[in-house]
C-alpha cells in the first residue's frame, strides 16, 4: 500500500529538526506514524511554506495520483500562493518581505496590500478543494482532505488547527511532537469510522 501525503510545514515536519533539533523528524511526523499504522509506504511531498496552489499543481500535474492507494492532504492557509522564477516554483507568504528581486518583492507587497481580498482567497480555495476531491475520485483513490485554516467554511474531513492540537511552544504554532501522534490517531479513526479504505 502506498500513501500520498501533501501539505505545508505541519505535514513535512522538518520544523521539528530545524527549530527543535529532532534529527529523526521523518520517523516522528504524523504521516510516517499513520503509514506505519496502516502497514503502508509513506510518500510525503509536503513543503514548508507551501501553498494550496502548490498542492493542487502537484496532484494535477506533477504526480500520478493513480499510483497511490490513498491520498492524505492537509491544505493550508488561503493567502499563500506560488510563482515560477528562474526555473523553479517559489513560495509566496503574506508576511514574507523579500523575494528574488526588488521588483518581485514590490509586486507581492502590492498584491497583498491592494489586490487580494478575503472573498477571492476563499473562492480560489474552494476551487482547489473541489479539484483535489474530483482528481482523487476520477482516479478511484480514497482521500482524506484536511485543513489547518481557521477561516475556512469548507466541509473538510478533519481540521488540524492550533486550538485542537498542542503546539510545540508558545512562540511556535506548529503541532508538538505528541500532537503528531494525536493527528495520526485522529486520521486513523476517521478512516475506520468512514470506511475510506
Q: Are 1 and 41 in contact (CB under 8 A)?
A: yes
In a domain, 29, yes or no: yes
Q: In the chain, how many domains are there?
A: 1
Q: What is the pLDDT of residue 19?
A: 85
- Give the contacts of 80 (CB within 8 A, at least 6 positions apart): 8, 49, 50, 51, 52, 53, 91, 92, 93, 94
In a domain, 105, yes or no: no
In a domain, 70, yes or no: yes
Q: What is the pLDDT of residue 169?
A: 83
Query: What is the CATH number for 69?
Result: 3.40.50.1110
Q: What is the pLDDT of residue 136?
A: 98
The Cα–Cα gap between 68 and 43 comes to: 9
Q: What is the pLDDT of residue 103?
A: 97
In a domain, 30, yes or no: yes
- Reported pTM: 0.96
**Whole domain around residue 12: which residue ranges?**
2-79+121-194
In a domain, 95, yes or no: no
Q: What is the pLDDT of residue 197?
A: 86
- Please list the rounded mean pLDDT of every run of 10 residues in the chain (197 residues): 97 92 95 98 98 98 98 97 97 94 97 94 97 98 96 96 88 91 98 93
In a domain, 171, yes or no: yes
In a domain, 6, yes or no: yes
In a domain, 99, yes or no: no
Q: What is the pLDDT of residue 125?
A: 97
Amino acid at each position: 500500500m502506498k500513501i500520498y501525503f501533501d501539505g505545508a510545514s505541519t505535514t513535512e515536519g522538518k520544523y521539528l529538526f530545524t527549530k527543535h533539533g529532532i534529527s529523526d523528524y521523518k520517523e516522528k511526523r504524523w504521516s510516517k506514524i499513520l503509514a506505519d499504522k496502516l502497514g503502508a509506504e509513506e510518500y510525503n511531498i509536503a513543503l514548508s511554506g507551501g501553498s494550496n496552489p502548490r498542492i493542487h499543481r502537484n496532484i494535477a500535474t506533477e504526480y500520478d495520483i493513480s499510483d497511490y492507494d490513498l491520498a492524505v492532504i492537509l491544505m493550508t492557509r488561503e493567502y499563500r500562493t506560488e510563482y515560477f522564477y528562474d526555473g523553479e516554483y517559489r513560495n509566496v507568504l503574506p508576511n514574507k518581505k523579500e523575494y528574488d528581486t526588488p521588483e518581485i518583492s514590490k509586486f507581492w507587497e502590492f498584491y497583498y496590500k491592494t489586490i487580494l481580498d478575503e472573498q477571492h482567497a476563499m473562492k480560489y480555495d474552494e476551487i482547489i478543494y473541489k479539484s483535489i476531491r474530483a482528481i482523487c475520485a476520477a482516479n478511484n483513490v480514497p482521500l482524506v482532505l484536511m485543513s489547518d485554516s481557521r477561516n475556512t467554511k469548507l466541509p473538510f474531513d478533519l481540521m488540524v488547527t492550533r486550538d485542537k492540537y498542542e503546539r510545540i511552544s508558545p512562540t511556535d504554532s506548529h503541532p508538538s511532537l505528541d500532537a503528531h501522534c494525536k493527528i495520526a490517531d485522529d486520521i486513523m479513526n476517521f478512516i475506520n469510522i468512514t470506511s475510506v479504505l
